Amino acid sequence: MQLTDELKSSLKREYTLCSNAVVFYKKALNKFEQKYHLSTNTFLKRFEAGQIGDDADYFDWYAFAKLLAQWQKTQSALRSAVR
């Protein structure tokens, strides 16, 4: 299937939006990692196992990690469609 120029343009805009979201969430996760001296992967394992407290930061960190994964998945799909 061949994409029209308008559709390609829209997909490229969506890809840019996804890229910006990915950058935002990566920076946010990096701030949490620096603050708590813990990688996001380690944090997620401990949080999901109930080994970390109930601080609001932890819930934000968890949500941001999940949102980053979703944005990256969307970005990957759009990358394939735009090429």
Q: pLDDT digits over 35-80, tens only?
A: 999 999 999 999 999 999 999 999 999 999 999 999 999 999 998 8
Please give the pLDDT value at position 1.
Answer: 55
User: What's the pTM value of the predicted model, to 2 decimals?
Assistant: 0.87
Q: So where are the chain's domains?
A: 5-82
Q: Exposed/middle/buried for 61, CB within 10 Å: 0-12, 13-18, 19+? A: buried
- In which band, very low, low, confident or very high, does the pLDDT at 7 lie, cut at 50, 70 and 90? confident
Q: Does residue 4 or residue 27 have the better pLDDT?
A: 27
